[in-house]
Amino acid sequence: MWQLIVRTGLILVLMAIGGGFLGAVHPVGDSLAAFRMPLCVTAGVLLLLTCRRVWILRIGVPLSVACAWSALPYFAGASLMGQPVLRIYQKNMLWNAQDRSALFADFVSSGADVLTLQEVNARNLASLEVLKDRFPHQLHCDFRFVGGTMVMSRLPIVQTLPCSDGMSAAQVQTPAGPVWVIALHVSWPYPHPQQAHVLRLMSAVAQVEGPVVVAGDFNMAPWGRQIGRLFQQLNVSRITPARGTYALFGFVPLPLDHVHSTLSGELVSVRPKMGADHRGLLVDIGQ
């Protein structure tokens, strides 16, 4: 009975792994792809428990290897070229968090030039007033009940895009010239409307020209097919390595937050949660 349960579980996990590569066929593929690494680990454990079944090994081992191999490149980050011209702090603040003092102190001590924020509701927006002297140039765009997106900058904002749901886009003046900084909060994948949301975002950024940094909570791993279309349109490359910035159920690490750019850059550090449910990302951007 135990072996039957394990084998059934393994077959279901292997089907989920395979389905995770079909995001171009149906959005449910991206839903499964978000859990690719946890599924790989689970498959490996179940394979060890059922290794007496040769036919399962013949199917399971190649699928597990392909699963891990496809994700491994994403665990390496980019490297900074030359001197940094912009430091970005990406953070989902959590709409109902309580004490913000440690987080705000980290914003300041990190040396960030620009904050890209999500879940900035009325409460979080009011609390951010204490940082107005440090980051006087701001753009906030509302988004759903959990709160909007926001760009806060110590550098001047020279122009902005109209607000779109889940997007704040501001062009900041760096020592090396203007750079678009786009803060995003993307809907969860299927059955949530991530595909439609990405299409709206693609339309919203269609006129962006020049250097771009895209940072946010994408509610999807960086290998997702739908968000990949947005990255392709903006011609940005991934800066941050895949890191578990959000723990589903408190123990399943998912790389939902990341940073992409047309410029070079590198991850400085992954920041603690500090009262939120997402870890932050501190990134240097070069020329």
Residue 268 pLDDT more than 90?
yes
Claim to verify: residue 6 and residue 25 sit in the same structural domain:
yes
- Domain-ending residue, one of 39, 74, 109: 74
pLDDT of residue 173: 98
Q: Name the least confident of 17-21, 272-276, 277-281.
A: 17-21
pLDDT of residue 221: 92
State the total domains in the chain: 2
Claim to verify: residue 59 and residue 109 sit in the same structural domain:
no
Residue 140 pLDDT more than 90?
yes
* 99: confidence class by pLDDT, cuts 50, 70, 90: confident
Cα 194 from Cα 177, distance rounded (Å): 33
Residue 236 pLDDT more than 90?
yes
What the block records as the tokens of 109 is 């001590």
Claim to verify: residue 187 and residue 129 sit in the same structural domain:
yes
Claim to verify: residue 251 and residue 142 sit in the same structural domain:
yes
What is the CATH classification number for the domain harbouring 130? 3.60.10.10
Q: 46 or 275, which is more confident?
A: 275
Provide the CA 206 distance to its chain's centre, in angstroms. 21
DSSP H or E run through 66: helix 54-71
- Domain-ending residue, one of 59, 74, 89: 74
Domain that holds residue 131: 78-285
pLDDT of residue 89: 99
Cα 88 from Cα 283, distance rounded (Å): 5
Claim to verify: residue 23 and residue 127 sit in the same structural domain:
no
Summary mean pLDDT of the chain: 88
Cα 283 from Cα 7, distance rounded (Å): 43
Claim to verify: residue 84 and residue 222 sit in the same structural domain:
yes
Claim to verify: residue 175 and residue 40 sit in the same structural domain:
no
Cα 56 from Cα 52, distance rounded (Å): 9
Residue 93 pLDDT more than 70?
yes
The tens digit of pLDDT for each residue in 19-59 reads 777 777 777 877 787 777 777 777 777 776 766 666 666 66
The stretch 218-223 carries a mean pLDDT of 93
- Domain-ending residue, one of 16, 46, 74: 74
pLDDT of residue 56: 62
The tens digit of pLDDT for each residue in 173-200 reads 999 999 999 999 999 888 888 999 999 9
Claim to verify: residue 65 and residue 113 sit in the same structural domain:
no
Claim to verify: residue 62 and residue 135 sit in the same structural domain:
no
30 CB-contact burial (10 Å; exposed 0-12 / middle 13-18 / buried 19+): buried
Cα 113 from Cα 198, distance rounded (Å): 27
The stretch 279-284 carries a mean pLDDT of 98
Residue 147 pLDDT more than 80?
yes
How long a stretch of residues is the chain? 287
Claim to verify: residue 83 and residue 66 sit in the same structural domain:
no
The stretch 112-140 carries a mean pLDDT of 96
pLDDT of residue 212: 98
Share of the chain above pLDDT 70, in %: 91
- State pTM to two decimals: 0.88
Residue 85 pLDDT more than 70?
yes
Nearest CA to 259 out of 281, 228, 286 is that of 281
The stretch 84-111 carries a mean pLDDT of 94
